[in-house]
Chains A and B, each alone.
Chain A
Amino acid sequence: MTDTTEPDVTIDSRDATCPGPLMDLIGKVKTLDPGTVVELQTTERNSTTDVPEWLEEAGHDLVEIEERDDHWNIYIEVN
């Protein structure tokens, strides 16, 4: 995690194949209050493009995408 982004909720979707991580995120976001910061952990490269596209469609914010050694952390703020 970076110094700036403190997630309220972490979703571990590592090893899930497409569209698993995105569906895990969509399922979770439905239950969260506005302002919640979510960290989505994914090993699926497609998530780094699919997730931002969905956020735009659904009106939530992409905070940042962080590349780790073996996965990506995608930070989202729920609107």
Chain B
Amino acid sequence: MHRIAIVGGGTGGTVLANRLASELQSEIEADEVEVRLITADPDHVYKPTFLYVPFGKKTVDDARRPIEDLIDRRVTLTIGEVVDVDTDGKKLTFGDSSVLAYDQLVLATGATLEPEAVPGLAEGGHHFYGPDGAERLRDDLADFTEGHLVLSVVGVPHMCPAAPVEFTLMVDDWLRERGRREDVEITYTYPINRAHGLESIADWATDLFEERDVNLETFFNVEEIDPDAEVIETVEGSEMEYDLLVAIPPHAGSDLVTDAGLGEDGWVDVDKHTLEATNAEDVYAIGDAADVPTSKAGSVAHYEAGVVADRIASRARGTVPTATYDGKTVCFLEAGMDEATFIEFSYGEEPFVREPSKPLHWAKLGYNESYWLTARGLL
């Protein structure tokens, strides 16, 4: 029996498990191959939903579905937390000390939020990157009628590099719709010398911010927040006062990865085309957990899952894997409450940003709805 273990039932792990179940259907049915998905949370969470929660357009319940409902019945599901990966012995240890052996392993453990890495951030800042943060922001934004709203990108890299720009353009529009925009000053801050890591998005966002009267502060690396005085202090030595701070908190990879010697900083070192771990045999990483030079985005996890499914299926059948990932990344970007744009790029390419339109906004919402079919491998 050839045992394939996937750790993490988010976008990457779920798409991968379903792809393998269909590619290796006959081998699974003949008991020659096992595809096992191991995940800590019995629910699958679709994080892009959280962008809409602060504006009351979606609820956090909309972001969750039982993982059991999304995976193919040929996949063996284990709900549990993996606490140790032994790549020499090819085994995983769970929180209850039980052990599982594998022949091929995929880590799809995602990224976690680490607001506590910046003093005062957890107390002084809001975010929309998780269910509790998004609900708290919704409640406080509803009461926010005047003052200085600061959107600060504190941590890089972070999930969905587009989301901070989207939130800023959406909140501007949302406040205008409510007739409150004149009483709210909006500032967007970014750590490097432009508004975004990708130059074309930075140029696009900078023009829109100017048009919509959003202040832009660059080379702004948050060192500390004073939640009582409502002041942000930066590494560069500047200070900024705020009334409502929406921060993209620093992200962390997984201790599992560091402890297993798979990547020093919690992200798995992989070959960017084969997604095979640099420091171990028969180990792959996909999605946010993999250290590849593109965005931490669901679309990346999805395309990577397709490539790794092909490679693993080839190995399980004893043939040479040939599928490779070229860095394909696709993103819809909201440019307000009812218009959006769309970008597409691969490794080393600069995306072209189209003129925002209403149809693209509806396409983004439509994609979000059909996501559940995507995760199940139907789209």
Residues of A within 8 A of B (CB): 15-20, 22-23, 26, 29-30, 50, 53-54, 57-59
Residues of B within 8 A of A (CB): 156-157, 191-193, 197, 219, 221, 223, 235-237, 293, 348
For residue B192, which residues in chain A have a CB less than 8 angstroms away from its CB? Answer: 19, 22-23, 50, 54
> A54-B219, A57-B219, A58-B219 are contacts. A26–B235 as well, Cβ < 8 Å?
yes
Closest to A50 in B: B193
Sample of 28 A–B contacts (CB below 8 Å): A15-B293, A16-B293, A17-B293, A17-B348, A18-B197, A19-B191, A19-B192, A19-B197, A23-B156, A23-B157, A23-B191, A23-B192, A26-B191, A26-B221, A29-B235, A30-B221, A30-B223, A50-B192, A53-B193, A53-B219, A54-B219, A57-B219, A57-B236, A58-B219, A58-B221, A58-B235, A58-B237, A59-B236
6 closest A-B pairs (Cβ-Cβ)? A17-B293, A19-B192, A58-B236, A57-B219, A23-B156, A57-B236
> A26-B235, A50-B192, A57-B236 are contacts. A19–B219 as well, Cβ < 8 Å?
no
Given contacts A19-B197, A23-B157, 16 further A-B contacts (CB under 8 A): A15-B293, A16-B293, A17-B348, A18-B197, A22-B192, A23-B156, A23-B192, A29-B235, A30-B221, A30-B223, A50-B193, A54-B193, A57-B236, A58-B219, A58-B235, A58-B236
For residue A16, which residues in chain B have a CB less than 8 angstroms away from its CB? Answer: 293
A59 to B234, CA, bound (A): 12
A29 to B193, CA, bound (A): 17
A50 to B202, CA, bound (A): 15
A77 to chain B, nearest CB (A): 16
For residue A18, which residues in chain B have a CB less than 8 angstroms away from its CB? Answer: 197
Main secondary structure of the interface of A (DSSP, over half): helix
Main secondary structure of the interface of B (DSSP, over half): loop
A16 to B219, CA, bound (A): 19
A78 to chain B, nearest CB (A): 11
B263 to chain A, nearest CB (A): 13
For residue B191, which residues in chain A have a CB less than 8 angstroms away from its CB? Answer: 19, 23, 26
B329 to chain A, nearest CB (A): 12
Closest to B294 in A: A17
For residue A30, which residues in chain B have a CB less than 8 angstroms away from its CB? Answer: 221, 223, 235
A15 to B348, CA, bound (A): 12
Check B193 against A59 for contact (C-beta < 8 Å).
Answer: no
A74 to B184, CA, bound (A): 42
A30 to B119, CA, bound (A): 13
A50 to B199, CA, bound (A): 13
Closest to A30 in B: B235
Closest to A23 in B: B156
B180 to chain A, nearest CB (A): 33
For residue B197, which residues in chain A have a CB less than 8 angstroms away from its CB? Answer: 18-19
B243 to chain A, nearest CB (A): 26
A30 to B221, CA, bound (A): 10
A31 to B156, CA, bound (A): 17
